[in-house]
Structure 1
């Protein structure tokens, strides 16, 4: 019996839970690992016993076969865990610390890290700026949907929770700090959300719901969430959002019914490259729909945050251009309206401590907003299937049954 179990991509539409190697402080060869990284030493790393690790919509893109992810890739980039071993170069993080792990891996030493751009670290991926655990083309770092994982540059990356008992009481909220809460918050910040803003968020999946909760935290006057899925729209309404059913037609008309004008101050794309059309085209994939719609409904001089994922390699895309990430955007609309667009990975470290404090001091209930539900690691295939079917749930894997015990 292996000392470690993990969730792996097993081909389009399938994940398996298998025995994998216990992590070490040297990067080993394996599915998705960049050859240039094999043998890389990580004395600055720690080994975590994973307390919680979440299924993300970004993982679903891979599992659907919509990326170039290789079979056998260990999945998972939303990780919270307890330090059980520290590397010889780790100075401040200690065994026993309970910590949140930013999904983007950063060295803390390069120009981008020093400027706070930790989503595009220059030293952690031989192919391009930026890296993440368990994700295609993101440096080949082993994923965290597992019982144990190695986290590099631990003194820089890890966010320690100040009180273990308090953290375990709020673990379903705190587990969202690794990705979707900062990502949704980042989408709102880059869209210019503030006190009194009217906000339209495209997509009522977990990131969209996290963005909606973030907009409320930032003081938005009205938060409108658009989607095709009735259950997810109901989840958005459960914590005070207005909703738009885009299967009924252009969001602009429904927004006008809500606000009296067919536009909002701020737009957030929480859908990404598998977007579908609106109205009668809602059953058809049309990857530029959300971006073009947001440029249409965001007020002149406004901004659009784009935390939704777009990729440069999509073998299942609807046309040859979309297969390499080229979309038919109405850039002229954006230019004419002087809109600002912000894309890319959220720099989690810019936000996670502040959002942790908001959670610990009961200023936000992010687990309730995204309808978090813990399941065992062995139930991961069922969780992926239910999430893919459109269930309005954020599945949190509990590899050691610590959440259940808490």
Structure 2
């Protein structure tokens, strides 16, 4: 068995490095970002994976930009697909050699929230608050999966096993999106009430926004409109049939929606931007997306908000935003009786069905998000390019299994 392990870690000052870290064990050891109450936590219910693919996420970028309290040395990565190489004593239904997708939410399967399907707010995996994730600040300290090998706890409950390994490897650029981005985009539009014939506005043409747009199409939306500041991203949205609005040229999205639909409102809208949102002048305005989609969504419509918001933002431009407080026009949303759904996506509610959509050829998520494979050692360059706004979803290939 291998004993070396290379991983991507936050190094401060907007940078990441690839470095040697400990080979994973079925116990959570002390390290950067590990909650003291989690140190020494035994995980005989877990497995160790040889990572087949692991993706760079916009949520990772928030930490790398210094917009959270993430400590230097934190191993990143919550989008993980891998092959099981070791199982814990208490694992019954997952076997060595299985190829699996790992939900980014860490969930025990035992607490009342998990039993109710709310695996995004598990009560037992993060001593600080409900909900946890791999390689993420204030999420309990579970080691990230942008690495060659990673430990995954509660394996019998959490992991999604692919039915045929050869078929899965052929579809890996699509299947790697099941750990986060595809369910997150789908959750955004599904929770906003998108159905057959709906008109939908997607704020943000990054990977999650593109995944949400493709998901809206899968759900039968009649028109999907995507807004962004970067023309190259909008071109990617148009490549699979979306209408687009360049926010840098048009600050009133309702007027642009009316030009497309004949009316200034959509049935549903999704915020895929989050707390680092910028207005049409490219200046940071944390609540601009939320306020704009309330105005552009019909009375009684739904707003899906999978875009990340934080309780602490050290890099914010004003004191309120540093504490996660936004200048939200909530009265407008109340007056229009709109529905808001926020928070982490409960991946396990969606990933099996989305897997079947991929394997049957109904979903083409890799094409929609422009999946782009790079080696693990190229992660710093990938982070830099992603931060510049390129229309790509970077997929790390730690063992060269995708390139071959």
Name the TM-score class by shorter chain.
over 0.9
> What is the alpha-carbon distance in structure 1 between the residues aligned to residue 282 and residue 256 of structure 2?
19
1:12 positional shift: 2.4
Partner of 1:228: 229
State the secondary structure of the residue aligned to 2:248. Answer: helix
State the secondary structure of the residue aligned to 2:27. Answer: coil
Q: What are the superposed Cα offsets for residues 290-333 of structure 1, whole Å, 9 maximum, x if unpaired? A: 00001101000011000000001110001000001100000000
Q: What are the superposed Cα offsets for residues 181-205 of structure 1, whole Å, 9 maximum, x if unpaired? A: 0000000011000000000000000
Q: Does 1:266 align with 2:265?
A: no
Partner of 1:319: 318
Q: Does 1:147 align with 2:148?
A: yes
Partner of 1:256: 258
> What is the alpha-carbon distance in structure 1 between the residues aligned to residue 13 and residue 173 of structure 2?
29
Q: Does 1:37 align with 2:34?
A: no
State the secondary structure of the residue aligned to 2:42. Answer: coil
> What is the alpha-carbon distance in structure 1 between the residues aligned to residue 3 and residue 227 of structure 2?
44
Q: What are the superposed Cα offsets for residues 202-233 of structure 1, whole Å, 9 maximum, x if unpaired? A: 00000000000000000000000000000000
> What is the alpha-carbon distance in structure 2 between the residues aligned to residue 187 and residue 318 of structure 1?
27
State the secondary structure of the residue aligned to 1:75. Answer: coil
1:247 positional shift: 1.0
> What is the alpha-carbon distance in structure 2 between the residues aligned to residue 221 and residue 277 of structure 1?
27
Partner of 1:375: 374
> What is the alpha-carbon distance in structure 2 between the residues aligned to residue 379 and residue 41 of structure 1?
33
Q: What are the superposed Cα offsets for residues 89-138 of structure 1, whole Å, 9 maximum, x if unpaired? A: 00000000000000000000000000000000000000000000000011
> What is the alpha-carbon distance in structure 2 between the residues aligned to residue 149 and residue 36 of structure 1?
20
Pairing of 1:90-239 with structure 2 (within 5 A): 90-239=91-240
> What is the alpha-carbon distance in structure 2 between the residues aligned to residue 384 and residue 215 of structure 1?
28
Pairing of 1:344-355 with structure 2 (within 5 A): 344-355=343-354
> What is the alpha-carbon distance in structure 2 between the residues aligned to residue 179 and residue 304 of structure 1?
19
1:387 positional shift: 0.3
Partner of 1:25: 26
> What is the alpha-carbon distance in structure 2 between the residues aligned to residue 384 and residue 53 of structure 1?
13
Pairing of 1:72-83 with structure 2 (within 5 A): 72-83=73-84
Q: Cα RMSD (Å) of the superposition?
A: 0.8
TM-score, structure 2 length as denominator? Answer: 0.99
> What is the alpha-carbon distance in structure 2 between the residues aligned to residue 369 and residue 378 of structure 1?
25
TM-score, structure 1 length as denominator? Answer: 0.98
> What is the alpha-carbon distance in structure 2 between the residues aligned to residue 56 and residue 287 of structure 1?
19
Partner of 2:338: 339
Which stretches of structure 1, 4 residues or more, deviate above 3 A after TM superposition? Answer: none
1:277 positional shift: 1.2
Partner of 2:307: 308
> What is the alpha-carbon distance in structure 1 between the residues aligned to residue 138 and residue 269 of structure 2?
28
> What is the alpha-carbon distance in structure 2 between the residues aligned to residue 103 and residue 12 of structure 1?
25
1:283 positional shift: 1.5
Tell whether the 8 Å contact from 1:2 to 1:20 is kept in structure 2 after alignment.
Answer: no
> What is the alpha-carbon distance in structure 1 between the residues aligned to residue 162 and residue 13 of structure 2?
37
Tell whether the 8 Å contact from 1:196 to 1:220 is kept in structure 2 after alignment.
Answer: yes
> What is the alpha-carbon distance in structure 1 between the residues aligned to residue 285 and residue 206 of structure 2?
18
Tell whether the 8 Å contact from 1:184 to 1:214 is kept in structure 2 after alignment.
Answer: yes
1:2 positional shift: 6.4
State the secondary structure of the residue aligned to 2:190. Answer: helix
> What is the alpha-carbon distance in structure 1 between the residues aligned to residue 279 and residue 27 of structure 2?
46
Partner of 2:8: 7
